[in-house]
Amino acid sequence: MSIKYILLLSGIHGDEYEVISSITKYLKVNKEKRNLFLYIPKVSPSAIKHKTRNNKNNIDINRSFLNNTKDSEILALKNKLKGFSFSAAFAFHEDCDRKNEFYMYSSHNINPQIFLNLKKQLNAINISLFNGIDDPSDPVLNNPIHNGLLVSPIKKEGKGTLWPWLQKNNSITYCIDFEIPMKASQCIKDRLIYILFETLILSGQTVFEEKMV
């Protein structure tokens, strides 16, 4: 029986790189938990290098996970994940317009008690749950977010986004994309990452409710 890890991804967009140090710090301090995860900090190394959304081939990685892709960074990720089995996947992004608001996209509903605990801990560091539209100019992100959460079941067509690709290639059912407030201080980001690990990520598959909206 194969071991099921929790997949962690960051650096999908190169202008969302500060969260990498927060994740690395958490895993370094909590060494006993590291064997639960497969963490790939820089999905797009070339975008990170230039601190740009698009990579060296001028593509948005998270719109280009397609069957016919020839992008070297996507192919490299696929090769790294080959043969692994995951209970859930968590990807870390940053919202460049936010300072004290947090939100996330989830493939499934979140356990209400876990979500309530998350909200309580976010309030303690003066982070509120975002309400509104993520990015009106992006057809993938032009959706209303309520109370910091948008439940979006994985769709087969996917518009080149990561989730359908992970489902097809690694049989992943449960996914969350975190949107960390980019304008928050590094200290707050560190604390936010700690909270996400302790309340959501370490709960693995149990954080999700089976029923999807």
pLDDT 10s digits, 36-68:
999 999 999 999 999 999 999 999 999 898 878
Query: What's the chain's length in residues?
Result: 213
Report the CATH number of the 4-207 domain.
Answer: 3.40.630.10
Other Cβ atoms less than 10 A from the Cβ of 190: the count is: 17
Q: What is the pTM of this model?
A: 0.93
Strands (E), the chain: 4-9, 37-40, 85-95, 101-106, 128-129, 132-133, 144-145, 149-151, 175-181
- Calculate the average pLDDT of the chain: 91
Dump pLDDT digits (tens) for 104-141.
999 999 999 999 999 999 999 999 999 999 888 877 77
Kindly report the CA angle at 160 between 213 and 171, in degrees rounded to 5? 65
Helices 112-124, 186-199: axis angle to 10 degrees equals: 160
Task: Give me the percent of the chain exceeding a pLDDT of 70.
Answer: 96
